[in-house]
Amino acid sequence: MQIFEYNGSALVAMVGKNCFAIASDRRLGVQLQTIATDFQRISKIHDRLFLGLSGLATDAQTLFGPYFCQPVIAGLGDEDKPFICTMDSIGAKELAKDFVVAGTASESLYGACESMFKENMEPEELFETVSQALLASVDRDCLSGWGGHNTYRSKGKDFERKDGLSGTKYLTHEISMDLFF
């Protein structure tokens, strides 16, 4: 019994033009049995940072002590430059300029992302690409799937309030994809 494949998972993050997208599947399983089809793998840390945890679900739920987990980190860094990274369960980082993947469907995800990725995609196109890459990959992996959660973040309009406070509105779109037959 492989511990990383006990619950099943699929995670992908991609960089676009001043935006990023992070998506996960929705299955929670116990080896061959599906327990739930609405499991959340991606957490919002704050406005500009999202974290997805693949691997053993119980460790993803334990604060201060994940073990058999592979994180996917996606956010907006300095000057709103999109940033993505993944690492293995012992912290070997992989910084990528284009996309990162994790989970039981990672091999399929590598293939799908490699063929579908383009540089400097606008938010809507990036969302579509990430969704199609995820759905295509999990369809070939029995331990992940049952739809997907896709979050994409881009820098919206700059705004200025009457009291002099200025800031930037961030557009976040969270879409849940149902399984299409």
Site residues for other proteins per CB under 8 A: 7, 28, 30, 33, 35-36, 39, 56-58, 61-62, 65, 67
Q: Minimum distance between the CB of residue 48 and other proteins, rounded to whole angstroms?
A: 28
Q: Which is nearer to other proteins, 65 or 164 (CB)?
A: 65
Q: Which is nearer to other proteins, 9 or 131 (CB)?
A: 9
Q: Which is nearer to other proteins, 29 or 75 (CB)?
A: 29
Q: Minimum distance between the CB of residue 109 and other proteins, rounded to whole angstroms?
A: 23
- Residue 110 neighbours by CB distance under 10 Å: 16
Q: 124, 90 in Cβ contact below 8 A?
A: no
**CA pair distance 41, 128, nearest whole angstrom:** 20
Q: Minimum distance between the CB of residue 40 and other proteins, rounded to whole angstroms?
A: 10
Q: Minimum distance between the CB of residue 41 and other proteins, rounded to whole angstroms?
A: 12
Q: Which is nearer to other proteins, 41 or 153 (CB)?
A: 41
Q: Which is nearer to other proteins, 164 or 181 (CB)?
A: 181
CA angle 152, 154, 160 (to 5 degrees): 140
Q: Minimum distance between the CB of residue 115 and other proteins, rounded to whole angstroms?
A: 34
Name the residue among 144, 1, 148 with its Cα closest to residue 68: 1
**CA pair distance 143, 13, nearest whole angstrom:** 19
Tokens 């992940």 label which residue?
Answer: 144
Q: Which is nearer to other proteins, 57 or 138 (CB)?
A: 57
The helix/strand count (H/E) of the chain reads as 3, 12
Q: Minimum distance between the CB of residue 32 and other proteins, rounded to whole angstroms?
A: 10
**CA pair distance 4, 104, nearest whole angstrom:** 8
**CA pair distance 175, 146, nearest whole angstrom:** 14
